[in-house]
Structure 1
Amino acid sequence: METRQMVTKSKLITDLKQLGVTAGMKVFVHSSMKEIGWIPGGAQSIIEALQEVVTADGLIMMAAQSTDNSDPKNWSRPAVPEDWWETIRQEMPAYDPAKTPTRAIGKVPELFRTFPDVKRSAHPMWSVTAWGNEATAFVAGHTIENGFGPGSPLEKFIEADGQILHLGSPWDATTVWHYAEYGIDRPDEESGCKVNQAGQEVFITYRHRMIDSDPFGPIGEGLTDETFVTTGKVGQATSHLVSAKESIPVVMFQLNALNSWLS
């Protein structure tokens, strides 16, 4: 069995700086604790290290997706019996930025959403969180309709020259790249969610862009030599700092090429 390295918060701070993370930078963070190593303080130490390096003059964003606030007819992991669907729609709680937990995206983003001064966007399924300079402005206006696309917090982050920060996490976790899927020929699909409307909890249906992160893995592997990607170690984890603005056109081109090949 491999002996895992102990990675302290001080070590995280040093490694983040060596990777190129600086005070005042805007970062959208993905992380894998098991890849980084054994961390005294776990997720809390990772978040505090990021805050100390970026400082309140910068911005830290993370995914806060609650994909179980969706129509049970679309569930597959796990699926539920059809005769449960309507009961689930009626009984599931409405999205609440303060209460609704994240789903299946890890301990760090789940803890981050509860940290002091962290703001969370209003999208009931694809919300994001932010801490730091203008955090409230970055998460504002996240409607059901804009999802990961134009007008969303992701677009604001990209236009503000933010950096995608992977700390041992796989390329297919790159939330920001979903923005590229709005620039290609991709259909919308019907979904639903529970929301608060005029003080009442109601289940509504809506349409959103069909997304698929599977191609992000090979796309990311092909970007490691690009000038807008910096690679290094944070703890034991191979980590990447990627320009969101410069990577989006490349991702869009690759997704278009894949579409052409499949059609």
Structure 2
Amino acid sequence: MTGPRTQGLTQPDLVARWHTIGLRAGMSVIVHSSLSRIGRVEGAAATVIASLRTVLGPTGTLVAPTFTWQVTDPAPSRVGIPDVEVMRRRAAVPTYHPDLPSTGMGAVAESLRCLPGSMRSAHPQASVAAIGARAADIVRRQTLGFAVGPTSPFGRLHDLGGHILLLGVGHDRNTFLHYAETLTPNPRLRIRRFPREFDGERVWVETLDVGNDNGRHFPTVGREFEERAGIEEVMIGDAPCRLIPAQPLVDFATRRLTELLHADHSHDSLDKLRRA
């Protein structure tokens, strides 16, 4: 484990480390990142992105989640006719547009979104930004329901044999595990609710998607996959970093989550019987 750096990482430093971890020209890579975990980087997020694009080259594609949690119902438990206060709070929620800043996804994701030539998918809450050879293909389609499922940029990245770069974050931030859960027989579900403009009218839309894991299974599934696949952690500055192939991860995670969710369901059913 390295101590705090007194000198910032440069773009050539990062390029050398990306080669060490296995990044190559022509890959399609989605990065989940925490810039603060790396330590000092000369040029901050812009340097991280420039170094990644240098390694991926003109035939590669760099992707990042640019989720917009500000586009959500501030009173999700309120159903039926809202009172004046709920109406006021809902009216203050922005409607999604491609230039709306991402929230909570980190400086690298937001910096990628702002790059000239970057493209962004159109989901009000779960968009991704991409730049490079496959960017238009990856962001082209994203259904409102199951926004991280097969008919999404994550599904397209999976089909293209893409990779996941976890930079200073764990599998609790790995959206591909949500993708895998959409493929299980009985996924945990939640409602997404957001405003949309239709023919000049603002309306609220409800759709289904997989639910939050909240650290219950994803860290375990991710760790088990890394052990079986021989994924090696590389330190980038002070941040642990792993490069993970999406297709093998999804194959493993779909099977493993099916087992774990079935066990949860069986346990919950037994608890209900005991309380009956």
TM-score above 0.5? yes
What's 1:23 paired with?
Answer: 25
> What secondary structure, in the 3-state scheme, does the structure 2 residue paired with 1:194 have?
strand
Q: State the alpha-carbon separation in 2 of the partners of residues 178 and 156 from structure 1.
A: 14
What letter matches 1:124 in structure 2? P
Q: State the alpha-carbon separation in 2 of the partners of residues 187 and 167 from structure 1.
A: 27
TM-superposed CA distance for 1:242, in Å, is: 0.5
Percent identity over the alignment? 27
What's 1:121 paired with?
Answer: 121
TM-superposed CA distance for 1:261, in Å, is: 2.1
Aligned residues: 256
What's 2:175 paired with?
Answer: 175
- Compared with structure 1, are the counterparts of its residues 68 and 29 closer, same or farther at alpha carbon in structure 2 (3 Å cutoff)? same
> What secondary structure, in the 3-state scheme, does the structure 2 residue paired with 1:70 have?
coil
What's 1:67 paired with?
Answer: 69
Q: State the alpha-carbon separation in 2 of the partners of residues 234 and 187 from structure 1.
A: 34
Aligned 1:75-224 pairs, distance under 5 A: 84-98=85-99, 100-184=100-184, 185-212=186-213, 214=215, 215-224=217-226
- Compared with structure 1, are the counterparts of its residues 84 and 229 closer, same or farther at alpha carbon in structure 2 (3 Å cutoff)? farther
TM-score by length of 2: 0.85
Q: Is the 8 A contact 2:221 2:253 kept in 1?
A: yes
TM-superposed CA distance for 1:56, in Å, is: 2.5
Q: State the alpha-carbon separation in 2 of the partners of residues 62 and 168 from structure 1.
A: 14
Q: Is the 8 A contact 2:70 2:93 kept in 1?
A: no
Q: Is the 8 A contact 1:19 1:233 kept in 2?
A: no
Q: Is the 8 A contact 2:65 2:127 kept in 1?
A: yes
TM-superposed CA distance for 1:160, in Å, is: 0.5
- Compared with structure 1, are the counterparts of its residues 228 and 176 closer, same or farther at alpha carbon in structure 2 (3 Å cutoff)? farther
Q: State the alpha-carbon separation in 2 of the partners of residues 133 and 223 from structure 1.
A: 29
What letter matches 1:35 in structure 2? R
What letter matches 1:68 in structure 2? Q
What's 2:55 paired with?
Answer: 53
1:231 corresponds to 2:233: yes
Q: State the alpha-carbon separation in 2 of the partners of residues 187 and 36 from structure 1.
A: 33
Q: Is the 8 A contact 1:181 1:211 kept in 2?
A: no
Q: Deviations over 1:124-178 (max 9, x none)?
A: 0011111101211210121202401121111110010001111121221101221
Q: Deviations over 1:217-263 (max 9, x none)?
A: 12222223333634322223221111100001211222122212222
- Compared with structure 1, are the counterparts of its residues 213 and 156 closer, same or farther at alpha carbon in structure 2 (3 Å cutoff)? farther
What letter matches 1:166 in structure 2? L
Q: State the alpha-carbon separation in 2 of the partners of residues 13 and 237 from structure 1.
A: 15
Q: Is the 8 A contact 2:32 2:64 kept in 1?
A: yes
What's 2:273 paired with?
Answer: none
Unaligned 5+ segments in structure 2 are 78-82, 266-276
Unaligned 5+ segments in structure 1 are 76-81
Q: State the alpha-carbon separation in 2 of the partners of residues 111 and 232 from structure 1.
A: 23
What letter matches 1:96 in structure 2? H
- Compared with structure 1, are the counterparts of its residues 56 and 230 closer, same or farther at alpha carbon in structure 2 (3 Å cutoff)? farther
What letter matches 1:17 in structure 2? H
TM-superposed CA distance for 1:14, in Å, is: 0.6
What letter matches 2:115 in structure 1? F
Q: Is the 8 A contact 1:229 1:243 kept in 2?
A: no
* CA RMSD, 1 decimal: 2.1
What's 1:241 paired with?
Answer: 243
When Rg is computed on C-alpha atoms for both structures, the one with the higher figure is 2
Q: State the alpha-carbon separation in 2 of the partners of residues 228 and 244 from structure 1.
A: 14
